[in-house]
Amino acid sequence: MIGAVSPRPIAFVSTVDENGNDNLAPYSFFNAFSSNPPIVVFSSNRRVSNNTTKDTLHNIYINKELVVNMVNYNIVRQMSIASAEYPSEVDEFTKSGLSKAKASQVQASLVAESPVNMECRVKEIIALGDQGGAGHLIICDVLCIHIDENVLDGDRIDPHKIDLMGRMGRTFYVRASGDAISSIYQPVTDLPVGFDALPDFINRNHFLTGNEIAQIAGLNKLPARDQWHPLPTSMFDLGEAAFCDVIKEWLKENKIEDAYAGMVQYYEQK
């Protein structure tokens, strides 16, 4: 299951215990669940080996405060060091070579090297079981957010600049930047025409993938014939597989309307 539900964002959670000891640990059962109000949720499991409570969970039961620090490529190996099961009195900031910065509204420290820090107050803790490995959903109100200006593009976070890491199964991680990132149009007000609006020679095409056909089905309006570019005569001489290879290239280049118009012209002649 863990390998299938991936990649997952990583909450690098800093807390402080009743004696003032700092703790730092990563959790990949984590996500944002509301933007207004801002709510993040992560899960801290009971230890499988002896069914005891981890330091993070112990600490937030005491003071109901924490900081969620986001993990980018630059600190992922330091994060891995902090994930080890050190004794409670050991400071994972020191072990991992990460720096502390003072929070404005909670006792726990910020990870200074993290691109984004979210100061949180615990809203609710929901125990999901009482056996080893059982999770505890920790629902957090986000009190304030610190963002490194270097990861911004105007007033928004640039995914390439923030360079976040995601957790997968076993020891695998994914770097969410560069070629790993794709921009996919999400319809909000203009509804896509859908697969059912396409002719069968597109909808049931054996040379295009469902993902490629979805680029055409994602148009909010199919171009009218008087808007089409005439298909070059040489294209009609191509076999179906070779023709669809050209269409694939057009779709890669985001020439979606041309791909639709070209397919209609080609298949109407067949």
Burial 194-208 (b: 16+ CB within 10 A, else e): eeeebeeebbebeeb
First to last CA, the chain: 47
Q: Are 50 and 132 in contact (CB under 8 A)?
A: yes
- In DSSP notation, 88-113 reads TTS-HHHHHTPPEE--SSSSSPEETT
Q: Are 138 and 45 in contact (CB under 8 A)?
A: no
Q: Are 70 and 114 in contact (CB under 8 A)?
A: yes
Strand partners, 12: 26, 69
Length of the chain equals 270
Report, as an integer, the average pLDDT of 213-241: 97
User: How many Å apart are CA 9 and CA 64, to the nearest integer?
Assistant: 22
Burial (CB count <10 Å: 0-12, 13-18, 19+), residue 21: middle
Q: Are 133 and 48 in contact (CB under 8 A)?
A: yes
For residue 270, what pLDDT is reported? 80
Dihedral sign of CA atoms 190, 196, 200, 205 in order: positive
For domain 8-180, give the CATH superfamily: Electron Transport, Fmn-binding Protein; Chain A (2.30.110.10)
Mean of pLDDT over the chain: 96
Distances (CA, A) of 88 to 23, 35, 55, 70, 113: 8, 33, 6, 22, 23
- Residue 202, pLDDT > 90, answer yes
- Residue-wise pLDDT tens digits, 65-107: 999 999 999 999 999 999 999 999 999 999 999 999 999 999 9
- Residue 50, pLDDT > 90, answer no
**Regarding predicted confidence, which is higher, 258 or 50?**
258
- Residue 231, pLDDT > 80, answer yes
For residue 48, what pLDDT is reported? 75
User: How many Å apart are CA 43 and CA 245, to the nearest integer?
Assistant: 46
- Residue 153, pLDDT > 90, answer yes
- Residue 27, pLDDT > 90, answer yes
Q: Where does the chain hold its CATH 2.30.110.10 domain(s)?
A: 8-180
Q: Are 57 and 37 in contact (CB under 8 A)?
A: no
For residue 132, what pLDDT is reported? 80
pTM of the model: 0.89
- Sheet strand arrangement including 11-16: 22-27, 11-16, 65-70, 116-127, 136-147, 38-43, 30-35
